[in-house]
Chains A and B, each alone.
Chain A
Amino acid sequence: MSLATFFEKLDRRWIFLAMGLLVLFPLLFPLALPLFVSSPVASFVKAVDSIPDGSKVLMSCDYDPSGIPEMVPMTRTALRHLLDKKCKVIITVLWNGGPGLVDKVVRKVVDEEYPDLKYGVDYVNLGYKAGDEAVMVLMGQGIVNAFPKDYRGSDTRSMPIMRGVRDYSSFPMLVNISSGYPGTKEWVQQVQARFHLPMVAGVTAVSAPEFYPYLQSGQLLGLLGGMAGAAEYEKARGEKGSATRGMDAQSLAHFFVAFCILLGNVVQWTKRRRAGA
């Protein structure tokens, strides 16, 4: 049996196994491959840095558990970035699978790293609201109207953090961490374009190419694309979170996929050449 025939008949489960081992190995034994901060991520950091200290910032975390590896590291770093600037963070969720997850992530960061901050004063999780774009437009008519209760069922109107918050004009920037629909595209269409609210976004890698035109047009001031974007954001902030730890595995997996593509092409080319001969 020739090598080409061997690879052609190779059970794909061997490829699954090889991929699994390649991902597992650097998680157990980190390789510390170099990582560079790209321009979209540097723009994201610069935009968040430009928010006046102590401002109230809207942060929409639109994802569910399927987005954990990419979205949670971005959420953690963005939240730390804002809290370090003494910003008051108002969090919303437009994905029905997300509110519990986002609440857990936010509480873990605040409880462990910012124990002096008070819920309802320095940050609040307004939770989930069904309606997608309709909620975005409704928030433009009044944040409290759209979210009369927070995630924990407390009355938002009586919260100190919500004093003076009317609509989008109350925020200098929207930080959106999004896994798909509804997410960054809808925030750009319904809020950035209509209410002229500056925004930055962190998105899944699979959807990132869709948002580069928004970055180029200035509708997005910064963009984090997938785990690589999250890792670069962590590096820019001097953190070493789960995205950074995952990047070695990510790199090896990409090498393996590229190798498989090349090998597949060589096998097919050899086969056709033999058939032609």
Chain B
Amino acid sequence: MSPAPFNTPEGIGIWIGALLTFCVFSFLYKDNPFYKLAEHLFVGVSAGYYIILNWWTVIYPNLLEPLTKAFAGKGVTERTGMFAAELGDYRGFLLFPALLGVLLFTRLFGRIGWLSRWSLAIIIGVYAGLQTTGFAQGDFVAQVQASLQPLWTGNFLTSVSAVIFTVGLITSLLFFFFSREHKGALGVASRIGVFFLMVGFGAGYGYTVMSRVSLLIGRFQFLLEDWLGIVR
């Protein structure tokens, strides 16, 4: 077990990672220039990385190359000519989304900035449609269906579980019924609902703590295993 070597590209990367980790940890003491350096480096490197990544993984393979091949008359089959391509390969109609993409940049030019709204309208429309149908199919219908459980399942323990589930579901829903004052039977039910909600918040808090502690453990494992090499 030995520290990361300083004479290999990977080793240098680990050393830089370790030093930047200490720079970020230093914020726990108080804000300082080392933390600021790490923060600015992160923002700058991320921006550059994302631009290059999107160029080579999206714009080039899904737009530029298919367009180039389409107009050069090359298809994946042995056929040649403008319309030789199969559906999904080299499509000339990609000019349309390319134009919409370019229109987004008109926001940088005040007078013609309104043109970007056409692209945004399509983006918002498509995503609203996808989200709505996805939610309806994946969440609403499926979850309502799964919530309609028989209270007696033939097994005592699973039946108790089903009853607790149903009581929790109904009382939690009643807590969010605000058209009537929470008094009498509704008040009792909503107070029971609060109890179930609190259990849910508690579980959520516990999981959140686990997630955040995992990040700290991950950094320590990096420092101990990858950088110092004292634990494996």
What band does the interface of chain A fall in when counting residues whose beta carbon is under 8 Å from B?
35 or more
Q: Does chain B have a CB within 8 A of A40? A: no
DSSP majority for the B interface? helix
Chain B residues contacting A141 (CB-CB under 8 Å) are: 88
Chain A proximity mask over B76-93: 1 for CB below 8 Å, otherwise 0: 100000000000110000
Q: Does chain A have a CB within 8 A of B5? A: no
Chain B residues contacting A99 (CB-CB under 8 Å) are: 53, 57
Q: Does chain A have a CB within 8 A of B185? A: no
Q: Does chain A have a CB within 8 A of B231? A: yes
Alpha-carbon gap, A151 to B131, bound state (A): 28
Given known A-B contacts A186-B134, A193-B134, A216-B146, A209 and B127 have beta carbons under 8 A apart: no
Q: Does chain B have a CB within 8 A of A117? A: no
Given known A-B contacts A69-B218, A134-B130, A209 and B200 have beta carbons under 8 A apart: yes
Q: How far is the CB of A26 from chain B (nearest CB, A)?
A: 9
Q: Are A254 and B53 in contact (CB under 8 A)?
A: no
Given known A-B contacts A16-B28, A218-B146, A24 and B211 have beta carbons under 8 A apart: no
Alpha-carbon gap, A130 to B58, bound state (A): 7
Chain B residues contacting A31 (CB-CB under 8 Å) are: none
- Select B211's contact among A131, A148, A206, beta carbons within 8 Å: A206
Given known A-B contacts A20-B216, A70-B211, A190 and B57 have beta carbons under 8 A apart: no
The B-contacting residues of A in range 254-273, CB under 8 angstroms, are 254, 257
Q: How far is the CB of A220 from chain B (nearest CB, A)?
A: 11
Of the stretches A2-10, A44-52, A81-89, A244-252, the one at the interface is A244-252
Of the stretches B106-114, B151-159, B171-179, B202-210, the one at the interface is B202-210
Q: Does chain B have a CB within 8 A of A213? A: yes
Of the stretches A54-62, A168-176, A221-229, the one at the interface is A221-229
Q: Are B220 and A205 in contact (CB under 8 A)?
A: no
What band does the interface of chain B fall in when counting residues whose beta carbon is under 8 Å from A?
35 or more
Q: Are B224 and A23 in contact (CB under 8 A)?
A: no
Chain A residues contacting B56 (CB-CB under 8 Å) are: 153
Q: Does chain B have a CB within 8 A of A19? A: yes
Chain A residues contacting B39 (CB-CB under 8 Å) are: none
Chain A residues contacting B146 (CB-CB under 8 Å) are: 213, 216-218
Q: Are A217 and B143 in contact (CB under 8 A)?
A: yes
Alpha-carbon gap, A69 to B21, bound state (A): 15
Given known A-B contacts A13-B29, A134-B126, A242-B221, A205 and B210 have beta carbons under 8 A apart: yes
Chain A residues contacting B7 (CB-CB under 8 Å) are: none
Q: Are B207 and A205 in contact (CB under 8 A)?
A: yes
Given known A-B contacts A128-B53, A193-B134, A254 and B61 have beta carbons under 8 A apart: no
Q: Are B208 and A205 in contact (CB under 8 A)?
A: yes
